[in-house]
Amino acid sequence: MDTVSFTKMEDGTKEEYAFLEPLYIQCIDGIPEMLLGLLKRMQGDRLGYQIDRYQHSLQTATRAERDGSDEETIVCALLHDIGDVLAPDNHSQVAAAILQPYISERNYWVLKHHGLFQGYYYFHHINKDRNIRDNFKDHQFYQACVDFCSQWDQCSFDPDYDTLPLEHFKPMVGRVISEPWNHFD
């Protein structure tokens, strides 16, 4: 069988879905490389900064690792801006949605809100409220997001920082994205 015969899912047979299952698994196995491909697309795209967004992401992950973060958090630091490639205006939410099945609720929340929390460092320069993040001050992951931005994200634009290469992080991405485990709303 090369393809299924149905044109509506409700008409599929047990045999056809058994045929589709390994193809779906093969697709899922390619997710780590797809995510790294999004990251690599940010190479050379400096947008006026001293380093490109690819180096920024590597630097953010390097800082997270050197601070003793767990592997999942390091991978989140590495991939935190992959949404920029697809949707710059809501990149945080896009990255969080892509990684949601593979990460903890805490890391999901941090990724989803890091763009807004990052605004603390520059919103006042563009006539926005730099303290907008305080709307979330009672949330259980508020401080985790503040720390993510202050310790790793906002300070990772340094062309002289000793940043680890992507090859160092690839195995971590493969392990974290190996199997969906977390489905929450």
Residue 17 sits in which domain range? Answer: 11-176
Instruction: Quote the CA–CA distance of 96 and 106 in Å, as a whole number.
Output: 11
The pLDDT of residue 179: 72
Question: Would residue 129 count as lying in a domain?
Answer: yes
Question: Would residue 185 count as lying in a domain?
Answer: no
Question: Would residue 5 count as lying in a domain?
Answer: no
Question: Would residue 3 count as lying in a domain?
Answer: no
pLDDT tens for the chain, residues 1 to 185: 899 999 999 999 999 999 999 998 888 888 999 999 999 999 998 989 999 999 999 999 999 999 999 999 999 999 999 999 999 999 999 999 999 999 999 999 999 999 999 999 999 999 999 999 999 999 999 999 999 999 999 999 999 999 999 999 999 999 999 877 655 44
Predicted model pTM: 0.91
Question: Would residue 60 count as lying in a domain?
Answer: yes
Q: In Å, what is the CA distance from 92 to each residue of 86, 89, 112, 118? A: 11, 9, 5, 10
Question: Would residue 1 count as lying in a domain?
Answer: no
Question: Would residue 105 count as lying in a domain?
Answer: yes
- Which domain CATH number covers 51? 1.10.3210.10
Domain count, the chain: 1
Quick check: 65 and 152 in contact, CB under 8 A? no
Question: Would residue 183 count as lying in a domain?
Answer: no
